[in-house]
Structure 1
Amino acid sequence: MKNGFRQSMAWLHTWTGLLVGWLLLLIFMAGTASYYREEISRWMRPELPRSSVSSEVAAERAISFLQHKAPQAESWNVTLPDPRNPAMRMFWRNPESMVKPPVEGEKRRRGGGRFGDATVDPASGEEVAARETRGGDFFYRLHFDLHYIPVLWARYLVGFCAMFMLVAIITGVITHKKIFKDFFTFRPEKGLRSWLDFHNVSAVMALPYHAMITYTGIVTLMFMYLPQGVSVAYPKDEDAFFSEAFARLADPAEPAAGSTPSLPIQQLLDSARAEWKGAQVSGFTVFHPGAANAVIDIYQRDGKRLSIDTPSLRYNAVTGALVEHSPVPGGATQTRGVMYGLHLARFADWGLRALFFLSGLVGCLMVASGVVLWAVKERPKHAKSGRIGFGLRLVDALNIGAVAGLPIAFAAYFWGNRLLPVQLAERADAEASVFFYAWGAALLAAFIWPKRMMWAWQLYLGAALFALIPLLNAFTTHAHLGVTLRNGDWVLAGFDLVMLAFGAMLAYCGLRMQRWQPALSAAEKKKRQMAAAAAASAQTAETAEASA
């Protein structure tokens, strides 16, 4: 630590940011992409329908499909279409007696065959034969599960990084006593000063967002990080705590003998909307379909509600009687729900979601400029000794592999979606592998040659991969810009246009990096000035001799 409070905070700010900066950049980039995970998922499954029908019609088609597809299931869960996702997604749970043991040599199905799922066209009621992909959910899970790392360890690691990020934000404000004044100051072509200005601008531009998203990210997993209170208060039944804390409906009773037809789903949805004063329905779950005591839980759509915890109603599916409301949440539950809701931003309309997305991009720039700034500061010290030390070489390679290499991986993921065979087994895993293979190749190239031109090459490659995605889409699907712009399908058209924008931005960064010249140190400037003065004196002397 350094002497003095601000000096100590500067030291803490530097090292908390640098030690986890590259992983934080991955978390920030994947989390920022998650604001549009529904739109990404839709683009990555171009076979999905684009027609829209009413919730009642969609619900009736869903019930008919499930009665035919999974008549003996213990429960059905249906997510109704909405403007961001026009297809219906449904899951069901099979009884244990129907689960068949895997055939020797055959890969066991995810869920052991206990669960089934389908994507259905709400207009026709038929299952859609869409390509297998995780879509935008890959980025959502990546930003807190880190994919290949065991889930528990990954979430602890992400929480550790979030704590470091929170410390870096607080110490950054303390360290830069003129941080808000410096927000209006940017001095280009000034070497270290320019990087510091850019870091300050990107930090202050969305400072409230950075603090909010970091703190709420920790809150979302608070029960995993601090489980002791739950264990002490509920030593024998922790599930009871989560039911009470999250205001959930209790588990339904066991199925009763007998078979009774349920009421039309439209009648139950109309009743739910009346209870909620016209609020829309996001989906429903039917427990023990066809049984004499079948019940249906109907869920309210997020809408403008800040909290992630939305109300639900339970009806008797046979008589239509309202059985119970979801419990009224207490103050602590509402606070946690709002924190979680702020982090996910499901309440946001298109304009506010775009603002969250842009703030996330600014956060990526803040983290990237921070890790690069350390290398820019250290390089003159190493230049004096005449050799680049291991630490600086390592940071240079990680900076190139993360800041310039991650965009390559993101673009490669979308290329994999279009180029991998549609019927490929374990296709979703193969798409994820494309992401990590591309990132691994970028990191390896950066470690082999961590020079300035490697920055430019990787930025140019990322630019080309992003800019060519709309062209690739036109060659491989019928949902390209020529169609989507004409039909006013702004979800798919917007994706392609954003890819072009990212390509242009990366190309500009590559060009700047290619032409960039490091600023001269004071000693080097003085040395060159002395050499220039000596040369001028010599030339003057030669001119005088020639004149004589």
Structure 2
Amino acid sequence: MKEGFRQSMAWLHTWSGLVVGWILFAVFVTGTLSYFRPEISQWMRPELRDVKADADAASKAIATLRERAPNSPRWFISMPEAREPILRVTYRDPNGGEGRKGFKSVLLNPATGEEVTARETRGGDFFYRFHFELSMKPIWGRWVVGFCAMFMFVAIISGVITHKKIFKDFFTFRPKKGQRSWLDAHNAVGVLALPYHVMITYTGLVTLMFLYMPWGVQANYGKDREAFFAEALGIPAEIKPANQPGHLTDIKPLIVAARHHWNGANVGFITIDNPSDANSRIAIRRDNEHRLSTNNQSAVFSGTTGELLSVAGEPAPASQTRAVMFGLHMATFSSTALRWLFALSGLGGILMVASGLVLWSVKRAPERAKLGYTPFGHRLVEVLNIGVITGLPIAIAAFFYANRLLPVELAGRPDWEVRTFFAAWLLSFALPMIRPARAAWTAQFVVGAALFAALPVLNAVTTQTHLGITLAQGNWVYAGFDLTMLGIAALLGLTAWYASRTPTSRKPSKRKAAEPLNLPAEAERA
């Protein structure tokens, strides 16, 4: 009975991993890149290299908004921070505006309040949103990713149950043994960051819990979602105007009061409702730097008198638990060293999913040899494996190339960067369709390595943010990006070299050829 249960878990582990493995690979890759979302966004806007944060940025932002959008019903100010020193202001245009839902966003220099001219790009936000929306309509993308995350959670649990010697096997790696080597590698990268894999999958599901399980909110708040967000998540509701003129008070004393309430913590975001009305409100939100919980701690002031009206940010235990899980998933609390540790754990997840997908094909190679041909299903999995695993790095490199090569003044430039990403990824499926698997693996890893290796060179030719300047200035955002690209190129090059090798360097002896594979029982059943 016990053996039958483990056999069922082996089957569940294999198929739950394969069915959604390709999407999970993309989610892990783009999610890992998202740990460096501000740094990627900075590199993709080289015009902002010399922008520095300023303590009086909020006052300058308000002055600019008064000039540009005096009749807007709502202003948003995203304050500069160490990892992203730019000042961003967003306002709602009562006439509809140019952006999504009538919002328009402008980048400002925190030191002067003047608009900064920089190339339009989605930057690191593209990878961040892709990893939970897949560039689909948000509602559908989030449902698909949530479905895949649940399968991932099942695959992790069933994998632990299936491999009863999982921790012992973690210290075992038998190279040049074909299927056995792939199984050892899959076990090793799976166990190496197992707590991370469990945490990131479960917290990923929790972050979108109100989408997957909305019934509690609907039962208690009905259609008044703003009331729920205000009470449970500390997000102030929008204030209706009094339709009488009013003048905003000085923002500086309000920021001082809010920071005092938070024991000196920095301000991350400011929302101003009805800025030209007598019933104006200023909500100042604390930033999440070095905080495990992402609950919205905010102080709300009267916009005309500066009187403190309310303080939010001490939610119920359930909301606080969700905020902690969200903080764990986003790693907003982490230092640079800890962020890299998260990224390396994410790399372990990438290798775990990739090795599991490849293992599915490797384990069925004897069956194909016995049949004398490759069944359609096996060939389909093989093509998808190569196109996804080797094609996604090529697509990411193409996205960065588009950022440097597309004309700065091109209309709809961010969309063209995204189109380049998907076009390169789609082309990556062509070669494995017409070439043998080993040749396709090698060729596309070589292409990926070459693209990433040449990226710092392209950056040096097209901008003034290359290694020759950034290393001398100690600008580690731009220098770190270029060095990371070279590291990725080396990793892909090493993988290409490994993929090009034949399964064995010499013909096996008759005695060895007759030996059974002697895989663990649970692996044979999978």
Pairwise CA distance, 1:157: 1.1
Pairwise CA distance, 1:402: 1.1
The match for 2:197 among 198, 210, 232 is 210
Counterpart CA distance in 1 for 2:358 and 2:415 is 32
The match for 1:194 among 158, 166, 181 is 181
Relative to structure 1, the CA distance from residue 368 to residue 519 in structure 2 (aligned partners, 3 Å threshold; closer, same or farther) is farther
Q: Which residue does the alignment assign to 2:304?
A: 318
Contact residue 396 and residue 450 of structure 1 kept, 8 A: no
SS in 2 for 1:468: helix
Q: Which residue does the alignment assign to 1:542?
A: none
Contact residue 49 and residue 86 of structure 1 kept, 8 A: no
Q: Which residue does the alignment assign to 1:487?
A: 473
The match for 2:105 among 117, 120, 126 is 117
Pairwise CA distance, 1:397: 0.7
Pairwise CA distance, 1:529: 8.5
| 1:371 aligned onto 2:357 | yes
Relative to structure 1, the CA distance from residue 518 to residue 17 in structure 2 (aligned partners, 3 Å threshold; closer, same or farther) is farther
Q: Which residue does the alignment assign to 1:285?
A: 271
The match for 1:133 among 110, 121, 124 is 121
Relative to structure 1, the CA distance from residue 525 to residue 465 in structure 2 (aligned partners, 3 Å threshold; closer, same or farther) is farther
Contact residue 190 and residue 519 of structure 1 kept, 8 A: no
Pairwise CA distance, 1:49: 4.5
Map 1:96-495; keep pairs closer than 5 Å.
98-99=95-96, 109-111=98-100, 114-147=102-135, 149-260=136-247, 262-326=248-312, 328-495=314-481
| 1:67 aligned onto 2:66 | yes
Q: What amino acid does structure 1 have at the position aligned with 2:103? A: F
SS in 1 for 2:304: coil
Contact residue 80 and residue 283 of structure 1 kept, 8 A: yes
Counterpart CA distance in 2 for 1:459 and 1:173 is 31
Relative to structure 1, the CA distance from residue 87 to residue 49 in structure 2 (aligned partners, 3 Å threshold; closer, same or farther) is farther
Structure 1 range deviating more: 135-144 or 44-53: 44-53
Counterpart CA distance in 2 for 1:111 and 1:54 is 29
Pairwise CA distance, 1:88: 0.6
Structure 1 range deviating more: 69-78 or 482-491: 69-78
SS in 2 for 1:184: coil
For structure 1, list consecutive stretches of 5 or more residues without a partner in the other structure. Answer: 101-108, 531-548
Structure ID, larger Rg: 1
Pairwise CA distance, 1:406: 1.0
Counterpart CA distance in 1 for 2:512 and 2:190 is 36
Q: Which residue does the alignment assign to 2:523?
A: none
Counterpart CA distance in 2 for 1:457 and 1:31 is 26
Pairwise CA distance, 1:214: 0.5
Contact residue 49 and residue 465 of structure 2 kept, 8 A: no
SS in 2 for 1:305: coil
Contact residue 288 and residue 333 of structure 2 kept, 8 A: yes
Pairwise CA distance, 1:228: 2.3
Contact residue 207 and residue 325 of structure 2 kept, 8 A: yes
Contact residue 297 and residue 313 of structure 1 kept, 8 A: yes
Fraction of identical pairs, as percent? 52
Q: What amino acid does structure 2 have at the position aligned with 1:258? A: P
Q: What amino acid does structure 1 have at the position aligned with 2:206? A: V
Pairwise CA distance, 1:289: 1.4
Pairwise CA distance, 1:291: 2.3
The match for 1:500 among 479, 482, 486 is 486
Q: What amino acid does structure 2 have at the position aligned with 1:199? A: H
Q: Which residue does the alignment assign to 1:85?
A: 84
Pairwise CA distance, 1:379: 0.4
Q: Which residue does the alignment assign to 1:533?
A: none
Contact residue 203 and residue 363 of structure 1 kept, 8 A: yes
Pairwise CA distance, 1:170: 0.3
Contact residue 9 and residue 175 of structure 1 kept, 8 A: yes
Relative to structure 1, the CA distance from residue 130 to residue 3 in structure 2 (aligned partners, 3 Å threshold; closer, same or farther) is same
Q: Deviations over 1:458-495 (max 9, x none)?
A: 00000000111100000010111111111111011000
Pairwise CA distance, 1:396: 1.1
Query: Which segments of structure 1 move beyond 3 Å, counting only runs of 4 or more?
Result: 518-522, 524-530
SS in 1 for 2:284: strand
Q: Which residue does the alignment assign to 1:535?
A: none
Contact residue 133 and residue 417 of structure 1 kept, 8 A: yes
Pairwise CA distance, 1:283: 2.4
TM-score w.r.t. length of structure 1: 0.90
Contact residue 400 and residue 450 of structure 1 kept, 8 A: no
Pairwise CA distance, 1:247: 2.5
Relative to structure 1, the CA distance from residue 512 to residue 327 in structure 2 (aligned partners, 3 Å threshold; closer, same or farther) is closer
TM-score w.r.t. length of structure 2: 0.94
Structure 1 range deviating more: 316-325 or 410-419: 316-325
Q: Which residue does the alignment assign to 1:31?
A: 31
Contact residue 145 and residue 155 of structure 1 kept, 8 A: yes
Q: What amino acid does structure 2 have at the position aligned with 1:151? A: P
Counterpart CA distance in 2 for 1:470 and 1:255 is 55
Q: What amino acid does structure 2 have at the position aligned with 1:494? A: G
Q: Deviations over 1:227-249 (max 9, x none)?
A: 22322233343432233221332
Pairwise CA distance, 1:450: 4.2
SS in 2 for 1:89: strand
Q: CA RMSD in A?
A: 2.1
Q: Which residue does the alignment assign to 1:538?
A: none
Q: Which residue does the alignment assign to 1:50?
A: 50
Pairwise CA distance, 1:188: 1.1
Pairwise CA distance, 1:22: 0.8
Q: What amino acid does structure 1 have at the position aligned with 2:106? A: A
Relative to structure 1, the CA distance from residue 355 to residue 528 in structure 2 (aligned partners, 3 Å threshold; closer, same or farther) is closer
Map 1:11-26; keep pairs closer than 5 Å.
11-26=11-26
Contact residue 242 and residue 279 of structure 2 kept, 8 A: yes
Counterpart CA distance in 1 for 2:461 and 2:398 is 16
Relative to structure 1, the CA distance from residue 187 to residue 74 in structure 2 (aligned partners, 3 Å threshold; closer, same or farther) is same
Q: What amino acid does structure 2 have at the position aligned with 1:155? A: R
Counterpart CA distance in 2 for 1:448 and 1:442 is 11
